[in-house]
């Protein structure tokens, strides 16, 4: 190891000697109007696309610059951005004085060009959005707000819960990461959403494509990576009040954040309360199979819910060291559509359910997600060390009236230790630890090495058996080399090894079933799951290349990703009464392996931006719940048997996006996505994969103006979304017709007096169109998507001025 370091250091020395004469250094300092340094200001140099942030004393430095003309852009929140042209003939020192904006508000974004930089440097296709985007396109949940991004769709359960789907892959094939720790809940289940408070998110990166290399098992379809990157301005105390109202489900949301920073210490607190009523659909009845359920006032009975969340971040910023401790608790209770629990149609007590649209009766679910994570970062010269520690507790319950399905006793025995109405309970504890080292030898070569480890302890309860209790230990180590060949091209290669050890518990029914043997019938407690003890290992890799000549950007990446089979796939052996399915696992399944070739082409000029990101993907063994033609009496209680099986799968697709500036303030754009999947082997040869999103395109017109009378950063936008029919289906899905929906958005910063108010208004489904979403959980029982919805979000930032705090602090 040390030899390599010496070798590279020597090479670097030679390199420096040979090139030093022809290249220059640009250094500088960024100060405010009182000549006080501004640490953390973003400095970007164009057209070379170099970016940095100023250090503690407000200084920045760019090495190895050719002679020539450069544009320097400096930005710092609360100050007017500065753009200047510099001609570099020799080493230069630049003094940047920033003018403050009238009111010193909001928080600091570490670099403004983060998204562009990330996109240019990553060899995978990624989308980066910040909290402004989330506000402009806010939906019922974080994933709903991200759904507009090309290649992203969701699996929805009612109005407040959705799961991420990236290019048609979801559930355990998408990894969600918050502050470097993998978010772990019951991702396999179709009937609950992601336990993330969207108000608390300031930056989301979506990696489209397999990313096992960095994220380990499960990142086979993609990654949703959320990082808290904001740091308050020094010597400030402030906050934001967010008020949200949605007309369709009478949603009321309040989120209050408070932040403060004194030199090296900062803290951030947030509390969010959401409360929503049943959501409305355009028709006044839905046909569940041939059973017609009338809907009172178009309300989807019992889909109301509530959520309350708390977050606390405490951070330390030192010259070489940064540490952030995050504590959060996300708690929700939400009802399931009362006329169908899962796919099962039911008669309901309409008097009870229609008494109030805000109450939550049976059936409902309750989820608590508690999380403590600590991320530390130590930087010394060319070495960066990052450590992450995490603890999560996910507790989820499903409550519904006791129904004696199959051989369950008609009268619930009083000898059991659980409530008859508790249908399912999952109690999961997750401990995570990561270590990451990045060594940058010189501007050409850097190496990142890391270890991710995790331990999961999952307990089960309730009357229904769907997955066994289990313990899972997993650890993975990786190394990624990044070589910058020239200013314009970057080569990356990485290798990873993972190991996992899974033990599942055995399970016996709590009620006896009639076992018929040799003509005699005996009542026996059936064994549903035997204990399983398995180890998995895998080697994954990835290689990518970026080439960014001028206005163009090309990228290509090829990689192998993997996913360990989950306990449900290995050990399921019970009836899922939500789906009328008897699901049978296969304890011998091997880890799922996927190979993917990704490409990306982008063109950006002042007026026009366009890009496409095609991909080809091959699974050697996609693990899939295959509905068979069999029924089973004893274990399956007369239900159709679904077997977990493996099949070869080939997929391809692409996203496109383009926007063109028609006039100074008006731009037209298009976003499109398409995925095709086909099973090449197995019982469903020739079929697609479940939940395949149909092709879709959004045509957009957006008006933006920096200053319009008393308002700033004004925007108005219209989205016309066309979605094709999805006839490429697999049992038990239904074909879904195509549809067209129009959404509009309007917003900006208004300043009555000195106070800034950020207002964003959206009208979704303006024409109250009745349409079905192929990937909605309720699609199979013909529940259409929500009708017209007016969403209003008002953000009120406030701050305590610097002077009063200084006096207070000194």
Partner 1 sequence: MKYLRKLLIVTFVILTVVACGDDEDPDKEKPIIDISIEDAFPTNCDTIYFGETFELKLLFTDNEELGSFSIDIHNNFDHHSHSTEVTECNPGANKEPINPFAFIESFSIPDGLTIYETNQLITIPAGNNDGLYDDGDYHFFIRVTDKAGWSTYKGLSIKMFHKQTAQ
Nearest residue (CB) to partner 1, 374 versus 581: 581
> Rule CB under 8 A: is residue 633 a binding residue for partner 1?
yes
* CB 731, CB 642: distance < 8 Å: no
> Rule CB under 8 A: is residue 759 a binding residue for partner 1?
no
SS3 readout for 592-620: EEEEEEEEEEEEECCCEEEEEEEEEEEEE
Nearest residue (CB) to partner 1, 159 versus 688: 688
Nearest residue (CB) to partner 1, 568 versus 651: 651
Task: Count the helix, strand and coil residues of the chain and give each as a percent rounded to the nearest 5.
Answer: 10, 55, 35
> Rule CB under 8 A: is residue 413 a binding residue for partner 1?
no
Nearest residue (CB) to partner 1, 348 versus 490: 348
The least CB distance from residue 735 to partner 1, in Å, is: 7
Instruction: Print the binding letters for residues 664-703 with partner 1: x by CB under 8 A, - otherwise.
Output: ------------x-x----xxxxx----------------
Tokens 């890799």 correspond to: 541
Nearest residue (CB) to partner 1, 296 versus 580: 580
The least CB distance from residue 599 to partner 1, in Å, is: 6
Q: What is the C-alpha to C-alpha distance for residues 184 and 466, in angstroms, rounded to an integer? A: 18
The least CB distance from residue 207 to partner 1, in Å, is: 21
Taking CB under 8 A as the criterion, the residue among 404, 522, 605, 740 binding partner 1 is: 404
Tokens 């308002």 correspond to: 711
**CA angle centred on 122, ends 121 and 124, rounded to 5°:** 155
Size of the site for partner 1 (CB under 8 A): 54
* CB 534, CB 504: distance < 8 Å: no
Instruction: Print the binding letters for residues 565-584 with partner 1: x by CB under 8 A, - otherwise.
Output: ---------------x----
Nearest residue (CB) to partner 1, 289 versus 418: 289
* CB 223, CB 296: distance < 8 Å: no
Q: Which of 493, 490, 529 is nearest to 509 (CA)?
A: 529
Mode of pairing for the β-strands spanning 222-226 and 174-178: parallel
> Rule CB under 8 A: is residue 640 a binding residue for partner 1?
yes
Task: Name residues whose C-beta falls within 8 Å of residue 357's C-beta, 6 or more positions apart in sequence.
Answer: 250, 277, 278, 297, 299, 304
Kindly state the tokens that stand for 505: 């518990």
Q: Which of 61, 221, 47, 199 is nearest to 131 (CA)?
A: 199
Nearest residue (CB) to partner 1, 76 versus 624: 624
Mode of pairing for the β-strands spanning 581-584 and 639-661: parallel
Nearest residue (CB) to partner 1, 781 versus 791: 781
Tokens 């230990």 correspond to: 473
Taking CB under 8 A as the criterion, the residue among 94, 370, 652, 699 binding partner 1 is: 652
Nearest residue (CB) to partner 1, 66 versus 727: 727
> Rule CB under 8 A: is residue 410 a binding residue for partner 1?
yes
Contacts of partner 1 in 702-731 (CB under 8 A): 727, 729, 731
* CB 394, CB 202: distance < 8 Å: no
> Rule CB under 8 A: is residue 406 a binding residue for partner 1?
yes
* Stretch binding partner 1 (CB under 8 A), from 26-34, 40-48, 298-306, 407-415: 407-415
Q: Which of 303, 310, 446 is nearest to 372 (CA)?
A: 310
The least CB distance from residue 629 to partner 1, in Å, is: 3
Taking CB under 8 A as the criterion, the residue among 101, 601, 697, 800 binding partner 1 is: 601
Q: Which of 704, 750, 781 is nearest to 190 (CA)?
A: 781
> Rule CB under 8 A: is residue 631 a binding residue for partner 1?
yes
Nearest residue (CB) to partner 1, 115 versus 729: 729
Q: What is the C-alpha to C-alpha distance for residues 23 and 66, in angstroms, rounded to an integer? A: 5
> Rule CB under 8 A: is residue 599 a binding residue for partner 1?
yes
Helix (H, G, I), strand (E, B) or coil at 135: helix
Contacts of partner 1 in 339-358 (CB under 8 A): 344-348
Q: What is the C-alpha to C-alpha distance for residues 450 and 323, in angstroms, rounded to an integer? A: 18
Kindly state the tokens that stand for 463: 């009357």
Nearest residue (CB) to partner 1, 21 versus 521: 521
Contacts of partner 1 in 282-311 (CB under 8 A): 288-292
Please give the residue ranges that form the binding site for partner 1 (CB under 8 A): 288-292, 344-348, 401, 403-407, 410-411, 547, 552, 554, 580, 599, 601, 614, 616, 626-633, 636-640, 650, 652, 654, 676, 678, 683-687, 727, 729, 731-732, 735
């Amino acid at each position: 190891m040390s030899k390599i370091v010496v070798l590279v250091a020597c090479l670097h020395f030679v390199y420096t000697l040979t090139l030093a004469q022809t290249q220059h250094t640009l250094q500088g300092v960024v100060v405010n109007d009182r000549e006080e340094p501004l640490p953390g200001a973003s400095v970007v140099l164009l057209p070379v696309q170099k970016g940095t942030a100023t250090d503690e004393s407000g200084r920045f430095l760019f090495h190895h610059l050719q002679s020539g003309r450069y544009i320097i852009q400096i930005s710092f929140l609360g100050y007017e951005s500065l753009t200047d042209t510099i001609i570099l003939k020799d080493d230069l020192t630049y003094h940047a004085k920033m003018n403050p904006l009238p009111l010193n508000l909001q928080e600091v974004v570490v670099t403004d060009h983060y998204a562009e930089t990330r996109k240019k440097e990553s060899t995978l296709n990624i989308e980066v959005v910040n909290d402004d985007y989330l506000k402009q396109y806010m939906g019922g949940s974080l994933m709903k707000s991200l759904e507009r991004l090309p290649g992203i769709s969701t699996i929805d359960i009612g109005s407040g819960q959705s799961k991420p789907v990236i290019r048609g892959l979801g559930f355990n094939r998408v990894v969600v990461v918050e502050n470097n720790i993998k978010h772990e809940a019951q991702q396999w289940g179709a009937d609950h959403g992601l336990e993330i408070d969207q108000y608390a998110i300031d930056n989301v990166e979506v990696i489209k494509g397999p990313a096992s290399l960095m994220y380990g098992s499960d990142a086979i379809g993609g990654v949703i990576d959320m990082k808290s990157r904001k740091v308050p301005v020094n010597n400030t105390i402030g906050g934001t009040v967010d008020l949200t109202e949605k007309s369709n489900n009478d949603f009321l949301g309040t989120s209050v954040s408070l932040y403060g920073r004194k030199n090296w210490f900062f803290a951030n607190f947030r509390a969010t309360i959401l409360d929503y009523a049943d959501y409305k659909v355009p028709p006044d009845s839905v046909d569940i199979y041939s059973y017609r359920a009338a809907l009172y006032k178009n309300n989807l009975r019992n889909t109301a819910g509530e959520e309350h969340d708390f977050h606390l971040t405490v951070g330390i910023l030192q010259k070489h060291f940064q540490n952030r401790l995050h504590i959060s608790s996300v708690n929700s209770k939400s009802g399931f559509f009362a006329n169908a629990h899962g796919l099962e149609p039911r008669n309901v007590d309409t008097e009870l359910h229609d008494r109030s649209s805000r109450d939550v009766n049976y059936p409902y679910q309750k989820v608590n997600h508690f999380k403590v994570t600590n991320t530390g970062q130590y930087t010394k010269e060319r070495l960066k060390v990052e450590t992450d520690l995490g603890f999560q507790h996910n507790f989820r319950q499903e409550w519904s009236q006791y129904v004696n399905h199959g051989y369950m006793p008609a009268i619930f025995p009083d000898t059991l230790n659980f409530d008859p109405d508790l249908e399912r309970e999952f109690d999961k504890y997750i401990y995570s630890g990561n270590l990451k080292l990045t060594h940058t030898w010189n501007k050409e070569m850097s190496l990142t090495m890391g270890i991710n480890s995790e331990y999961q302890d999952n307990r089960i309860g309730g009357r229904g058996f769907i997955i066994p209790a289990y313990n899972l230990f997993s650890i993975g180590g990786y190394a990624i080399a990044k070589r910058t060949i020239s200013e314009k091209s970057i080569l990356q290669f990485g290798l990873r090894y993972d190991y996992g050890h899974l033990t599942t518990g055995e399970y016996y029914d709590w009620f006896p079933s009639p076992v018929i043997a040799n003509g005699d019938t005996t009542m026996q407690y059936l064994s549903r799951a035997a204990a399983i003890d398995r180890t998995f290992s895998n080697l994954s890799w990835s290689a990518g290349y970026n080439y960014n000549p001028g206005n163009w950007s090309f990228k290509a990446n090829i990689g192998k990703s993997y996913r360990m089979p989950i306990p449900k796939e290995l050990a399921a052996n019970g009836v899922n009464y939500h789906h009328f399915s008897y699901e049978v696992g296969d304890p011998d399944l091997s880890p799922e392996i996927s190979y993917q070739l990704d490409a990306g082409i982008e063109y950006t000029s002042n007026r026009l931006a366009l890009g496409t990101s095609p991909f080809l993907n091959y699974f050697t063994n996609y693990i899939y719940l295959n509905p068979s033609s069999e029924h089973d009496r004893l274990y399956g209680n007369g239900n159709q048997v679904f077997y977990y099986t493996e099949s070869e799968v080939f997929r391809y697709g692409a996203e496109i996006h383009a926007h063109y500036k028609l006039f100074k303030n008006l731009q037209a754009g298009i976003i499109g996505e398409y995925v095709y999947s086909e099973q090449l082997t197995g019982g469903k040869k020739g079929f697609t994969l479940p939940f395949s999103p149909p092709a879709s395109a959004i045509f957009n017109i957006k008006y933006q103006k920096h200053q319009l009378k008393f308002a700033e950063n004004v925007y108005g936008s219209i989205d016309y979304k066309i979605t094709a029919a999805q006839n490429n289906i697999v049992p038990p899905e239904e074909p879904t017709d195509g549809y067209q929906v129009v959404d509009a958005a309007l917003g900006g910063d208004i300043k009555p007096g000195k106070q800034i108010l950020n207002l964003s208004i959206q009208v979704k489904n303006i024409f109250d169109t009745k349409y079905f979403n192929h990937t909605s959980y309720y699609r199979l029982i013909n529940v259409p998507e929500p009708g017209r919805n007016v969403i209003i979000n008002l953000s009120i930032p406030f701050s305590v001025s610097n002077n009063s705090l200084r006096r207070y602090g000194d």
